[in-house]
Structure 1
């Protein structure tokens, strides 16, 4: 008999246990083996685990601040070996001040990726199209996400990464502007200590990062959720991710949007 648990037998208690396993791994900065090979859950149950894990954060006092999209660029899909757009939830504990020094001891094996971040101006309570999306956005900013899979060696299935809140661990957001009408082909450069390590274009994000607002609206609607006014929507990475190192200055420049930066502590 197979040791993989049947998805039909994955109960609410099982989901709660798996959510707590991931939450404890994140809290203790301890990597674990992927969960899906043993428990065999499907994608919808992975989102159930994700939401249960985020609920544990909320119970500790963390506040919802928005959501992130993942695998919106072909580069990220190839790097991670998946082919589906995914999404996770952000809390205020994931926000780091722009320009701050960030301790890598807060993570397991962190990587950084350049992103575009939107700030919503109105509640998004249903599907949108691209023409409608701009009316729901108050501003756009250059941003970076620190991703940090809780799984050993950063290896996982699609279901595993979704359950793990799409590897979200930290967000650094630059200055917001109203330049939302022409985002389709802005140059992107990530530098470590002034040396370029990643280069790309905002066009890698669904062809136009504003489409991420459209996708977020559809995904939230299907999940029965409203995206409140004042929420952050992280549009997804413009390039593959780069592993962070101790004692470096990290910056991202996006043409026409500006620059965002942080430093890492001297010791992990």
Structure 2
């Protein structure tokens, strides 16, 4: 393909930095998934050259229903940086159309060089959240578009870490300003978030990325994402995992 990967990455980067929505990239020139991931890497590369550090991996399309909706048979993934980590607050004025979803998070304790060792490398599990912010107008995109856009990654947060345990069916509650916004179970994440963890290792290693000590893996959404308004207080609670809170 003749797609200019760096130019597309620059377009997405500019949209994020200026909080200005753009038309899907594929509307001008379609490209395949391999090209989409090349754009994603170039996009994240622009961030790391500005001084950000890689901090983990986020998984997307981890519900069978979402896979069917998008016509795919595998999850997608993106990269997290330290600048995406929310310290208890998120300035939504710097985002385009933020949405939030409850997550199960894994803490990586040592380098992961094969899929078979990723579960043993986990030193903590926690309840978390991810703030999504597609750079595309009206949150509408094709599969290559969302992959290129780093799987809509924007911000994330995690609660207190707990010793590794079975998190295959953790009840999750997300409240906004004290009102229930979503309820669900971690079982919605590929039937067991551990499957998503293994997929994260498989996809990262396939791209030549080694999961590093201290990295976070966000296993994917346990419920649908909901709009994240300004001046809001959000709390995500996981049964047996405590809670994490964020204000906007």
TM-score bracket relative to the smaller structure = over 0.9
Question: What does residue 118 of structure 1 align with?
Answer: 106
How do 1:1-268 residues align onto structure 2 when only pairs under 5 Å count? 8-10=1-3, 14-74=4-64, 76-77=66-67, 81-83=70-72, 84-97=74-87, 100-128=88-116, 132-178=117-163, 180-264=164-248
Superposition deviation, residue 102 in structure 1: 2.1
Q: 1:101 to 1:227 in 2, by over 3 A?
A: closer
Cα pair 1:76 1:237 within 8 Å, conserved: no
Task: Give the alignment's Cα RMSD to 1 decimal.
Answer: 1.4
* Structure 1 residue 81: Cα displacement: 3.9
| Counterpart Cα distance in 2 of 1:213 and 1:48 | 22
CA contact (8 A) 1:174 1:260 kept: yes
- Post-superposition offset of 1:217: 1.1
Aligned counterparts of 1:47 and 1:126: Cα–Cα separation in 2:
21
Does the 8 Å CA contact 2:52/2:83 hold for their aligned counterparts? yes
Q: What is the CA distance between 1:193 and its match in structure 2?
A: 1.0
Flag as ranges the 4+ runs of structure 1 deviating above 3 A.
74-78, 80-84
Distance 1:226 1:147, change over 3 A: same
Q: Could you report, residue by residue, the CA deviation over 1:113-147 in whole angstroms, capped at 9, with x for unpaired residues?
A: 0001111111111222xxx4431101011100000
Structure-2 change in CA distance of 1:239 and 1:76 (3 Å): farther
| TM-score, normalised relative to structure 2 | 0.96
Report the CA distance between 1:50 and its aligned residue: 0.4
Tell me how far 1:77 sits from its aligned partner. Answer: 4.3
Cα gap change, 1:175 to 1:75, in 2 (>3 Å): farther
- Give 5+ residue unaligned stretches, structure 1: 1-7
Q: Tell whether the 8 Å contact from 2:169 to 2:187 is kept in structure 1 after alignment.
A: yes
Name the CA distance, whole Å, in 2 between partners of 1:165 and 1:29. Answer: 15
Q: 1:75 to 1:251 in 2, by over 3 A?
A: farther
Distance across 2 between alignment mates of 1:18 and 1:215: 27
Which runs of 5 or more residues in structure 2 are unaligned? none
- Quote how far apart the aligned CAs of 1:170 are: 0.2
Q: TM-score, normalised by structure 1?
A: 0.89
Instruction: Give the count of matched residue pairs.
Output: 247
Bigger shift: residues 132-141 or 68-77: 68-77
- 2:119 and 2:198 in contact (8 A); partners too: no
Alpha-carbon offset, residue 76 of structure 1:
4.5
Whether contact under 8 Å (2:37, 2:148) holds in the other structure is: yes
